[in-house]
Amino acid sequence: DVSGRPWLEWMVVLPNDQDGNSSLIAVDRKTGKTVWETKRNSKVAAYSTPCVYEPKDGKKQLIFNSQAHGITGVDPATGKVLWEYTNAFDKRSVSSPVIVAGLAIGSCGSGGGGNYIVAVKPGDDAKKQPATLAWEMKKSACYVPTPVVVGDLLFSWSDGGIVTCVKGTTGEVKWQERAGGNFFGSPIVVDGRIYAISTSGEVVVVKAAETFEVLGRSQLGELTHTTPAVAGGKLYIRTLKHLVSVG
């Protein structure tokens, strides 16, 4: 019996959107026992990690991205699909969804381009309201890197090093500037600063604001395809040969 137990504390959720048989799976983190499994359609493998969405007047949901299903809201306790915007993507989804201004954001793309970002207003099953498209951004959108959110601003850091600040409520582009380099890792936000690391190992720091400002650049001297992490007041960066801790 798992009733009354906060699911975030004991559950591991596995998105298994593959070229073949696909499903969303939740397991007990201590035993590995399957709690629920939701079957999915298959198209191309998705590499997106779900995020948690908590409506102001509702229960928490898990948000998933895939080309086959678009953007989906799922009940984390049961695996029930609460809403879905199926026509979100015409290409593979690699970046993970984020929430800004009550909208679920996802992106899709390919190595050959055609990347774009979609913002969807989540559906409400109780009110029988379907999910609807809020806005799209098709110029210099991210494909592999996941966007970051600061307040009601969305920051997209594209694979080709173009950073875009978007008003989350409307999709208005506040600025779009070239930071330089190529990126596989995602940006992170620390104290109003956005950190991203290029594949050549350059750490680029940009101000998380409605005006573009590069705050600094540092060269690691090694290739890296990773996303930095922060813990205990330190920044951790994994290059191809080292783990770097910056205090």
pLDDT band with cut points at 50, 70 and 90 for residue 125: confident
| pLDDT tens-digit map of 10-55 | 899 999 999 999 999 999 999 999 999 999 999 999 999 999 999 9
Rounded to two decimals, the pTM is 0.92
Tokens 């080292």 locate to 242
In this prediction, residue 152 carries a pLDDT of 96
What rounded mean pLDDT belongs to the chain? Answer: 94
Q: Which residues contact 157 (CB under 8 A, 6 or more apart)?
A: 142, 145, 147, 148, 163, 179, 183, 186, 187, 194, 196
Closest CA to 216 of 246, 235, 231, 196: 196
Confidence of residue 118 (pLDDT cuts 50, 70, 90): very high
95, 129 contact by CB (below 8 A): no
